[in-house]
């Protein structure tokens, strides 16, 4: 038995009124979100990467991982890359294998990429890179390895800490919980604000990604703290990207009540992030968004674009049914979201 690939449930969610982050001028239009996974039309084990396109033209790549590198024809312009933490499945330690991709449950890897897929994309696309913890100089060095010159520090102009895109070369910047930066497409109205928020996980750097003399056997490099992000788009959509995390009380008091996200991309898998029960509790009781996209599922969650019965995603969808809309991030299937967090045309 399978449930539909896209479950859209009209639900009236009551959120507590209160303060929210600094308001941004809003534009009309829809935010497009395109998952860039290993198998087109499916939600698979290695899928992490999401490409966001604001109506004002800003294009943001989130956690490229192992399914996207700089040669991927799906990318187009990438103005900003967000990295939640340094683990290999998010930063990309191996290139995708497009000629022999393997199965959805066991995607095949390509060649090792010690400079990371993330740095390779930033180096080619002249992207700004925002990362938490102590990853800024690490990523700058990786880009330098590729280009032969160190990237600049990303500008943070004025009260809004603004970075204008597109840029002539890549740049890197640290963004930690409590801080925010904005990105503006030159010649277009409106700012896209990116705020870092807490996550509970870890961010060790794999020894294979550390330049000589590397780390002692059995140890990982220090990457500092992990993070999630709240991205406020120009049409009013507010997306909370949890990163890898478990539950914490500030999901209610800070993320829910201050930022008021109406869309959550929740990393939901097994023993290393939210399980389906914990993820459902976040949706129902802590953040209460209009729509949720389960990602980082560490399983072949779909077959033919439909949820496979007995999977963790199946369990999650069953629990949150009637509380929030569920939109599956099927690879290469672009979804469009309005300012209220609703997927347009998903019904």
**pLDDT tens for each residue of 128-185:** 999 999 999 999 999 999 999 999 999 999 999 999 999 999 999 999 999 999 999 9
Q: Return the percent helix, strand and coil in the chain, to nearest 5.
A: 15, 25, 55
Can you read off the two tokens belonging to residue 241? 């990207």
Residue 8 has pLDDT above 90, yes or no: no
Q: What is the mean pLDDT of residues 231-242?
A: 98
pLDDT of residue 2: 42
pLDDT of residue 25: 53
Give backbone dihedrals phi and psi of 250, rounded to 5 degrees, phi first. -70, -10
Q: What is the mean pLDDT of residues 73-92?
A: 98
Virtual torsion, Cα 188, 170, 245, 11, nearest 10 deg: 20
Residue 253 has pLDDT above 90, yes or no: yes
Q: What is the mean pLDDT of residues 64-90?
A: 98
pLDDT of residue 37: 98
Q: Say how far apart CA 185 and CA 188 lie, in whole Å.
A: 5
Contacts of 61 (CB under 8 A, 6+ apart): 49, 50, 51, 52, 68, 75, 78, 80, 81, 82, 121, 127
Beta strands 343-344 and 335-337 are antiparallel
% of the chain beyond a pLDDT of 90:
89
Can you read off the two tokens belonging to residue 300? 């072949």
pLDDT of residue 270: 83
% of the chain beyond a pLDDT of 70:
92
Strand partners, 326: 7, 292
Model pLDDT for residues 285-341, shown as the tens digit of each residue: 999 999 999 999 999 999 999 999 999 999 999 999 999 999 999 999 999 999 999
Nearest to 35 by CA among 72, 62, 4: 62
pLDDT of residue 26: 64
**8 A C-beta contact, residue 63 and residue 180:** no
Nearest to 263 by CA among 175, 190, 181, 338: 338
Q: Say how far apart CA 231 and CA 194 lie, in whole Å.
A: 5
Bin 220: left if φ > 0, else alpha if -120 < ψ < 50, else beta: beta
**Residue-by-residue DSSP string for 258-270:** II--SEEEEEB-S
pTM equals 0.92
**Residue entry with tokens 């829910």:** 256
pLDDT of residue 1: 42
Give the pLDDT band (50/70/90) at residue 57: very high
**Residue-by-residue DSSP string for 21-66:** SPP-----S-EEEEE--SSTTS--TT---EEEE-TTS-EEEE--TT
Nearest to 244 by CA among 276, 212, 280, 201: 201
């Amino acid at each position: 038995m399978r449930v539909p690939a896209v479950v859209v449930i009209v639900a009236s969610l009551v959120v507590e009124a209160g303060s929210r982050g600094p308001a941004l001028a809003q534009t009309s239009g829809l935010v497009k979100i395109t998952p860039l996974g290993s198998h087109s039309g499916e939600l698979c084990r290695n899928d992490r990467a999401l490409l966001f396109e604001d109506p004002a033209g800003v294009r943001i790549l989130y956690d490229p991982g192992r399914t996207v590198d700089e040669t991927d024809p799906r990318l187009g312009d990438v103005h900003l890359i967000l990295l939640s933490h340094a683990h290999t499945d998010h930063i990309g330690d191996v290139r995708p294998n497009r000629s022999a991709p393997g199965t959805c449950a066991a995607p095949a890897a390509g060649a090792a990429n010690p400079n990371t897929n993330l740095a390779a994309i930033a180096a080619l696309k002249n992207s700004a890179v925002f990362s938490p913890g102590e990853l800024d100089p690490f990523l700058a060095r990786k880009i330098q390895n590729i280009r032969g010159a160190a990237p600049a520090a990303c500008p943070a102009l004025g009260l809004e800490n603004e970075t204008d895109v597109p840029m002539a070369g890549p740049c890197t910047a640290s963004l930690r919980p409590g801080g925010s930066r904005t990105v503006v497409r030159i010649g277009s109205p409106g700012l896209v604000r990116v705020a870092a928020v807490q996550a509970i996980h870890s961010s060790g750097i794999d020894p294979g990604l550390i330049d000589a003399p590397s780390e002692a056997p059995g140890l990982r490099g220090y990457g500092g703290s992990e993070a999630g992000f709240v991205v406020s788009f120009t049409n009013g959509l507010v997306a909370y990207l949890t990163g890898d995390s478990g539950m914490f009380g500030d999901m209610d008091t800070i993320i829910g009540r201050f930022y008021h996200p109406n869309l959550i991309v929740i990393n939901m898998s097994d023993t290393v992030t939210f399980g389906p029960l914990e993820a459902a509790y976040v949706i129902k009781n802590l953040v209460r968004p209009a729509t949720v996209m389960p990602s980082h599922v560490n399983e072949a969650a779909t077959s033919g674009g439909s949820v496979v019965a007995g999977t963790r995603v199946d369990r999650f969808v069953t629990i949150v049914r009637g509380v929030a809309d569920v939109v599956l991030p099927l690879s290469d299937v672009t979804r469009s979201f309005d300012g209220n967090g609703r997927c347009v045309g998903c019904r």
